[in-house]
Amino acid sequence: MAGFEYRMNSIDTLAPVLGEDTLRRLVAAFYRRVREDDLIGPMYPPDDWSGSEKRLADFLIYRFGGTPTYLEERGHPRLRARHFPFAIGPTERDRWLALMAAAMQETGLPEEAGSAMGQFFAQVAESMRNRE
């Protein structure tokens, strides 16, 4: 991505730099994989794929320094509480991360942005783990 500028250790500048459309493309690429995945796919409500996709995109845009639509519509993320009903162990965590890594690769994110996002996703995915 020409002209990409990223302040190290600051993920809150990614949305303005990458653009919200790029983050929405990332999430769409991720959900195309999730729908077909035998481990992660069944955790998602089958009648709300578009809602799930919108919520994740809105969350990432907000968390990476973009518009606060997620907060306005959903309030505080409370990620751990929202994910607690699902059995998330190391296998589920790792699959989620693999699907997101493939989506990041497909989206063609700049290396620094992909690295920062990968670190963020790894931390969040580990914090969602509620099973050994």
* Domain-wise residue ranges, the chain: 13-128
Closest of 70, 43, 45 to residue 56, by C-alpha: 70
Q: Please tell me the pTM assigned to this model.
A: 0.88
**3-state class (DSSP) for residue 89:** coil
* Neighbour count for residue 128 (Cβ, 10 Å): 17
What is the structure's pLDDT at 71?
A: 86
Type of residue at 116: A
What is the structure's pLDDT at 28?
A: 98
Closest of 34, 40, 47, 130 to residue 85, by C-alpha: 130
| C-alpha to C-alpha distance for 32 and 26, rounded to whole angstroms | 10
**Could you list the mean pLDDT of each consecutive 10-residue stretch along the chain, which spans 132 residues?**
50 94 98 97 93 96 95 78 80 97 97 94 93 88
DSSP state of 10: -
| C-alpha to C-alpha distance for 26 and 18, rounded to whole angstroms | 11
Task: Give domain 13-128's CATH architecture.
Answer: Orthogonal Bundle (1.10)
